[in-house]
Chain A
Amino acid sequence: MENIVNDFTINVATANGTGSQSANLILLQSLFDMGIPVSGKNLFPSNISGLPTWYIIRLSEHGYQAPGNRTDIQVLVNPATWEEDLAALEPGTVVVWNENSKLEMNREDVVSYPIPMTKIARSINPKLGKLITNIVYVGALAEILGIKQSALESAIKTQFKGKDSAIELNTNAIELGREHFRENLTKKDPYVVKEREIEEKQFFIEGNEAVALGCLFGGAQLLSWYPITPSSSLAEAMIAWIPKIRTNDEGEANCAVIQAEDELAAAGMVLGAGWAGGRGMTATSGPGISLMQEFIGLAYFAEIPSVFWDVCRVGPSTGLPTRTQQSDITLLYEGSHGDTQHIVLFPGTVEECFEFGWRAFDITERFQTPVFGMSDLDLGMNRWACSGFKYPKEVMDRGKVIRDKDIFDAFEEFGRYLDVDGDGIPYRTLPGSGMAPILYRGTGHNPMGVYSEKPHDYLQLMKRLREKIDSSRDVIPAPILREESECEIGIIYLGSMENTIQEIDDLLEATGLKVSQCRLRALPAHSEIEKFIERHETTIVLEINRDGQLYGILRKEIPIDLVPKLRSVAYSDGMPPRGKIYADLILETLQDVEK
């Protein structure tokens, strides 16, 4: 039997609230520390304790980060999903199962490793048996796969920083798990791990924490938020970092945090901060964005800088609150009633989460319009390898805000919405400055900011707003192109799909199909997007939702003769994108084109 090295998928089935998350993170971290390209996906329920949870760990020599197409090693701990999990396995799968669960192991076509997890756990500490059970399988897996003990021990130390008794308990459980396998079972499977030399040191971080740090380096002055999965950890990361990086020696912060009574109030506070001249932001998810619609329209119409981070989950309605989707592209881009259009940023990596975190403030103040960052549960709540964050090269762009009386006096005529420079972006003065005070409003207004229902005023205002947003398209982050020469097929995708695109590309190439890639990183679409479509016979718009939201937007915005070149491949079942599903759908769609 030939060894399969560093290239397989482990699926761990446990119950929520049993400490399985720390066990899985220890497993993930120790593989990562051995230099093995690895990714972890936490499929958790909307529940605190008791419902089924799966954790998928993918080891991939190619660096693939999506869950694999099949499970190679199944860890069975949760009796609730036991039968279902077992039935789904392909012949030859390795099954590491809890011998004490009183459930049957009725498959003879798999490689079976029974481990008395509960018994071992109770032998260490009867009271904490449930929690330790999970760490026992980490020990068994370590023995089966050859995970270095030193890597495990350092991962345990990181996980339970400073809690000596927990460190001892977990180290002990791992050793007993190892020992049981060594003394009672024989390895009958081909899966092994092998340490790799680490070329570039990296660390693991969740997208939400990366956005949080980015926002704090962007000079956020107000975070106003309402708890919602999967964005709460973004706000909580900001709260955790403010005392470390935005607080003086006296313990006084220069970023305010207010937990609002609902998402409407959160959005209102963001607008209040922007109106007063500060950098305000909120973090939410789709249902929150739905509730914020009225304020989003006000921010657009009254031209108030404001930043909204949307960590998408599965819609519509409450949907699948703990699953992932690119659900809100249309909602963000065309948010609120009436004719609107908004700037939306789509980070695809944790490095970009950080960058767009600070950049969003510069863009919102420059264009005096709401700016959205769209991430999703997959990018936001899973851990991704990061090479380190880069410090902003540019100084902050505070936009056309007049703080100096001399500059103000140089204006012949000052109107809050007067297009002095012909770029659609007016100048503003701040409350408290005494310069050109006006009553901001969500009602129609003329260039002087005075209430108006006159057709000409309305038309000019709406025209200018459109031009203003249009003018942002080549200033906001440009797409990232990976083009093969003479390639007929192009793929446009965005956001967290970045982590699956290479696998999709390789799967397509294995069938003889070469494609070019274009990762859109912001809306309105950069002018390069149109050129990319022009260069290719057919362009697939690939996204993680049902309706092809980005496809719909691009169809409206590209010249009509290019529209027939576009095809939509949109799919979402709530799971993180798996390469094979999308590759197959792309091939199917292209076959239709040929017909």
Chain B
Amino acid sequence: MSEKRERTVKLNVINEPKDSYSGGKSSLCPGCGHDQISSVIISAAWENGVEPHKIAKMSGIGCSSKTPAYYLGQSHGFNTVHGRMPSVTTGAYAVNKDLLYIGVSGDGDSASIGIGQLIHAIRRNMDMVYIVENNGVYGLTKGQYSATADIGSKKKKGAINETQPIDLCALAINLGCTFVARSFSGSKKQLKALLKAAMSHKGFALIDVISPCVTFNNNDESMKSYGYVKDNEVTLHMTDYIPHFNPISEVEVPEGHFKDITLHDGSTIRLETISEEHDPTNAMQALGALHDAETNAKHVTGLLYFDNTKASLVEDLGLVDLPLIDVADNDLRPSKEMLEKINSAFLN
């Protein structure tokens, strides 16, 4: 009996079953895009072979920020305050750089109340994956427009939105963010490849995921509804992820053009050209693609921008190799002789 069961449970590269990455039952509305993203987070972490307890799941406040309860049950997490998850993550990272920090936020959390903290985490090239579950509305407070609502879009109740949206990807590219991607909760394959690549990236990796709100913003007039995004998604390239433990020589090479990008841990993200070739190291091209999409009321998805030349926060901090929380108390407190030296230096 038990032998048979062992054979049926699939294990990842560190011999963990996928169950080790699952979480509690979701209490979001059935069909919510956020739940799809949660399941992709589980798959990506499992397939990448990350030790579950070496992940820290961070969030702010809102529907999206509740989701860390629904994935990675073996990881510590912190559901912080509205818009302030980046600073809490930064402080945790400063004393324990060895965890993989996965932040989940929403468009209210990131584009309004917390936009300052998002900007500064990007500026520091804080080493984390930052997922925005972007639906254009505030869900938990019952459907007010957020700062990412598109011009001309209309939610289920209320007037058409006439206010210019904030495009978090364009903002991030302008700030020099080192990994900027956009995806759609309904494009699971693309999202998973991007997420796995983001986990292998050292620096700030922003993935803005359009994630329809089935309750307040999934009507036909909404530009962030399932139907609209499916019809108006412009995919930059097909994305594939080749983990470092899987030799690239054994990977089947697709026909046509493609671009391989090597990530910090030796993994590769493969971008297969669909129509026009997109060079993700070119910020102008990335901004151009976003601008074209906005002009045509489309959503462009894929790896928009990538830069692996910048130092991440940990290099700037100039700290010892050991994560600070593992430094012995005796090393944290200077010696008695040192204090005596200080006292006598002051006296003389």
Which positions in A face B, CB cutoff 8 Å? 201-203, 205, 213, 216-219, 221-222, 224, 245-246, 248, 251-258, 260-262, 264-280, 294-295, 298, 358, 386, 388-389, 391-392, 395-396, 398, 429-434, 437-443, 451
Contacts and interface: CB of A to CB of B under 8 A. Distances in A.
A271 B80 contact: yes
A440 B79 contact: yes
Given A252-B318, A432-B96, A437-B76, 10 more contacts: A222-B324, A255-B332, A257-B317, A264-B87, A274-B91, A276-B325, A439-B68, A439-B77, A441-B79, A451-B69
B334 A246 contact: yes
B53 A437 contact: yes
A277 B326 CA distance: 9
Contacts, number: 207
B73 to A, nearest CB: 7
Interface in B51-100: 51-54, 56-57, 68-69, 73-81, 84, 86-96, 98-99
Nearest to B56: A431
The prevalent SS among residues of B at the interface is helix
Interface stretch (B34-42, B195-203, B246-254, B338-346): B338-346
List of 7 A-B pairs having minimum Cβ-Cβ separation, nearest first: A272-B91, A268-B87, A278-B95, A269-B91, A219-B332, A434-B53, A431-B76
Nearest to B340: A391
Given A275-B92, A278-B95, A265 B334 contact: no
Given A396-B333, A433-B53, A442 B80 contact: yes
A294 B53 CA distance: 28
A280 B95 contact: yes
A294 B74 contact: no
B329 interface: yes
B1 interface: no
A275 B88 contact: yes
Given A273-B92, A276-B91, A439-B68, A268 B325 contact: no
B324 A218 contact: no
Contacts of B29: none
B347 A221 contact: no
A391 B76 CA distance: 36
Given A272-B89, A294-B81, A392-B333, A261 B117 contact: yes
Contact of B84 (A203, A264, A433): A264
A260 to B, nearest CB: 7
Contacts of B87: 260, 264-269, 272
Given A213-B342, A253-B319, A432-B99, A221 B81 contact: no
B255 interface: no
B13 interface: no
27 contacts: A216-B334, A222-B95, A252-B319, A254-B319, A254-B324, A256-B317, A258-B91, A261-B117, A261-B120, A265-B117, A268-B80, A269-B88, A269-B90, A269-B91, A274-B91, A276-B91, A388-B347, A389-B343, A391-B339, A396-B332, A432-B53, A434-B74, A437-B74, A437-B75, A440-B77, A441-B78, A443-B79
Contacts of A266: 87
B86 to A, nearest CB: 8
A434 B73 CA distance: 11
B324 A278 contact: yes
Contact of A276 (B92, B321, B333, B338): B92
A453 B79 CA distance: 16
Nearest to B70: A439
* Residue of B57, B333, B336 with highest tally of chain A CB at under 10 A: B333
A277 B325 contact: yes
Interface residues of B, number: 57
B61 to A, nearest CB: 8
Contacts of A260: 87, 120
Interface in B305-330: 317-321, 324-325, 327, 329
B54 A432 contact: yes
A384 B245 CA distance: 62
A213 B340 CA distance: 13
A391 to B, nearest CB: 4
* Residue of B84, B94, B346 with highest tally of chain A CB at under 10 A: B94
A80 B300 CA distance: 64
B116 interface: yes
Contact of A268 (B88, B96, B317, B324): B88
Contacts of A430: 76, 325
Nearest to A432: B99
Contacts of A248: 320
Given A246-B334, A442-B80, A276 B74 contact: no
A70 B69 CA distance: 66
Contacts of A273: 91-92, 94-95
Nearest to B322: A254
Nearest to B61: A442
B343 to A, nearest CB: 4
Contact of B318 (A251, A434, A443): A251
A495 B341 CA distance: 28
Nearest to B321: A252
Contacts of A271: 80, 88, 91
A274 B56 CA distance: 14
Contacts of B124: 258
A395 B328 CA distance: 12
Contacts of B68: 439
Given A205-B346, A261-B117, A441-B79, A432 B56 contact: yes
A217 B94 CA distance: 19
B329 A221 contact: no
A279 B332 CA distance: 10
A563 to B, nearest CB: 37
A451 B73 CA distance: 14
Given A278-B94, A440-B79, A253 B320 contact: yes
